[in-house]
């Protein structure tokens, strides 16, 4: 089960390999920022003892954040959060029935004292970006480097939005002008 690459600081786990098409977006976000991670199947229901071992050993193996994706009952994020002092980010994975709302509610409704950060249904990319933000907090050189990359990333988002606005104004203005508008 432990396929941890050297230096992995984020654990990216899911209840089944069928969750990978959703969870891969978190991996891509981590790769975009040069964050080493491990990815594995850790099922809360099919392999509970392995899940307990994973959660208890995560910090000792050097992980700093866990991203856990699960569908249906979605117990994995909460169970891991109960076993580790690390921040856990839950990703509700949409399934055929209920479109992931069951997963979302399961992850969001954690008992007091067991916090799990939760992103939108299928929001694995934001989970990866949140992990980057967590790693960017602090005063270490690596945290400062990540903070700078996040600032550049935010500026890229801004420039994209500005470009979309300019194109929309151009299209809308062209149409309004052709209709003999005000």
Strand segments (E) across the chain: 10-14, 37-41, 65-70, 88-92, 117-118
169 marked among binding-site residues:
no
Q: Single out the residue of 119, 108, 49, 134 nearest to residue 83, CA to CA.
A: 49
Please tell me whether 46 is known to bind a ligand. Answer: yes
Q: How is residue 69 written in tokens? A: 């994706």
The CA distance from 72 to 164, in Å, is 37
On whether the CB atoms of residues 103 and 116 are closer than 8 A, the answer is no
Q: What is the C-alpha separation between 135 and 26, in angstroms, rounded?
A: 14
Residue 134, token pair as written in the block: 């967590």
Question: Any idea which residue has 């969750």 for tokens?
Answer: 19
What is the C-alpha separation between 147 and 158, in angstroms, rounded?
A: 17
Determine if residue 18 is labeled as part of a ligand binding site. Answer: no
What are the φ and ψ backbone dihedral angles of 118, each rounded to 5 degrees?
A: -125, 135
Q: Binding site for substrate: residue ranges?
A: 16, 19, 46
Q: Binding site: residue ranges?
A: 16, 19, 46
């Amino acid at each position: 089960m432990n396929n941890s690459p050297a230096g992995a600081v984020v654990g990216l786990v899911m209840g089944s390999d069928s969750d990978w098409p959703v969870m891969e977006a978190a991996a891509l976000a981590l790769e975009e920022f040069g964050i080493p991670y491990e990815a594995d199947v850790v099922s809360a229901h099919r392999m509970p003892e392995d899940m307990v071992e994973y959660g208890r050993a995560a910090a000792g193996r050097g992980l700093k954040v866990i991203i856990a994706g699960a569908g249906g009952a979605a117990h994995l994020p909460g169970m891991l959060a109960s076993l580790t002092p690390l921040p856990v980010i839950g990703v509700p994975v949409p399934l055929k029935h209920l479109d992931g709302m069951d997963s979302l509610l399961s992850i969001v409704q954690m008992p007091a004292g067991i916090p799990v950060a939760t992103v939108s249904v299928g929001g694995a990319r934001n989970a990866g970006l949140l992990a980057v933000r967590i790693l960017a907090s602090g005063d270490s050189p690596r945290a400062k480097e990540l903070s700078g990359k996040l600032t550049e990333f935010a500026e890229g988002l801004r420039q994209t939005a500005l470009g979309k606005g300019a194109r929309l104004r151009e299209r809308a203005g062209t149409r309004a002008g052709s209709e003999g508008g005000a």
